């Protein structure tokens, strides 16, 4: 059971970023490591933030944090609480899909909060974009990232750096065609959630966008199969670029017979008619960027340097 830690009060010199009211809530899976929540609260408060911890963070029901009605209420509490500027999901797992037809996306958008997470959180981000044009943030979560025993300085730097500004630029090592320059709406997230929502009212209709994807525990042939679903649905050919993040958490078997991630990517580049880049630091990995889903992204590749510039993501 999660218990509140002693409050940490930072000295003025430790605060190098804006102070936010942060809400932790569990909209999907239950908290698997209560100590991670204690660490996350302590670190964020030490950095000058104010943390509100929802009751769902400490509860468990079946494979979820709480029954659907209670998790739906937690989302409403995050949206309505005047002490919360940024709602950060504790973890992913599974659960958002059960709530999508019951969420008042208009009310959530009108609340003017920032929503942050990844993995199953994609199943909220894409409908929020589809229904209300909401910009949400694909990035760190409370337990896995902020509450890690050894948190990533890279993840923290890029999260708070992007949220603090009206525009944010990062250089990274992307492998793909070059020289290359394009810009468009940035969208995407977990590939399983993307393919799961295709053909529904919760899937955004994006032309000329920059699509980013990641996943964990999916074999290369399954990743390819989901890409084919996006291809046959006419999604991939309408994008200006596809950025591949982290794909890990699987073991190849004898039946793969040399068919690995590299072979899958080579096939995707030859088949889907859209520039495909690999190496985006995002996904179920320690070092990840924070990406504004629904914001504008400019991608420039020149002389081996890849630059991403994000804008139009502030409420």
Q: Which residues contact 307 (CB under 8 A, 6 or more apart)?
A: 169, 170, 171, 298, 299, 300, 301
CB 146 within 8 A of CB 43: yes
- HEC profile for 165-232? CCEEEEEECCECCCCEEEEEEEEEEEHHHHHHHCCCCCCCCCCCCEEEEEEECCCHHHHHHHHHHHHH
Residue 20 tokens read as: 């936010």
Nearest to 71 by CA among 102, 41, 50, 40: 102
Catalytic site residue from 45, 214, 218, 224? 214
Distance CA 201, CA 77 (A): 25
214 is catalytic: yes
Catalytic site residue from 49, 195, 284, 306? 284
119 is catalytic: yes
Phi, psi of 243 (to 5 degrees): -110, 120
Q: Which residues contact 267 (CB under 8 A, 6 or more apart)?
A: 224
270 is catalytic: no
Catalytic site residue from 119, 156, 195, 306? 119
Residue 270 tokens read as: 């030859």
Residues marked as catalytic: 119, 214, 284
């Amino acid at each position: 059971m999660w218990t509140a830690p002693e409050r940490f009060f930072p000295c003025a010199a430790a605060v190098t970023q804006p102070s936010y009211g942060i809400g932790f809530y569990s909209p999907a899976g239950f908290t698997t490591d209560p100590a991670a929540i204690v660490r996350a609260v302590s670190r964020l408060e030490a950095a000058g933030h104010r943390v509100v911890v929802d009751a769902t963070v400490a509860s468990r029901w079946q494979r979820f944090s709480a029954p659907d009605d209670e998790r739906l209420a937690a989302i409403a509490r995050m949206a309505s609480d005047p002490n919360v500027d940024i709602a950060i999901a504790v973890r992913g797992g599974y659960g958002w899909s059960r709530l999508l037809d019951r969420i008042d996306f208009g009310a959530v958008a009108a609340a003017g909060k920032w929503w942050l997470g990844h993995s199953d959180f994609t199943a909220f981000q894409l409908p929020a974009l589809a229904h209300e044009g909401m910009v949400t943030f694909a990035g760190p979560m409370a337990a896995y990232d902020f509450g890690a025993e050894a948190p990533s300085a890279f993840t923290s730097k890029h999260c708070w750096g992007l949220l603090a500004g009206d525009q944010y630029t990062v250089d990274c090592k992307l492998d793909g065609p070059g020289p290359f320059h394009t810009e468009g709406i940035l969208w995407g997230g977990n590939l399983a959630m993307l393919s799961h929502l295709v053909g529904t009212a919760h899937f955004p209709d994006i032309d000329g966008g920059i699509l980013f994807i990641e996943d964990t525990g999916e074999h290369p042939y399954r990743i390819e199969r989901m890409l084919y679903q996006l291809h046959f649905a006419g999604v991939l050919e309408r994008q200006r670029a596809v950025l591949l993040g982290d794909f890990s958490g699987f073991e190849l078997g004898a039946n793969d017979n040399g068919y690995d991630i590299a072979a899958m990517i080579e096939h995707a580049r030859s088949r889907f008619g859209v520039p495909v880049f690999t190496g985006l630091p995002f996904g179920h990995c320690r070092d990840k960027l924070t990406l504004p889903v629904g914001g504008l992204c400019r991608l420039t590749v020149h002389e081996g340097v890849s630059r991403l510039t994000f804008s139009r993501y502030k409420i």
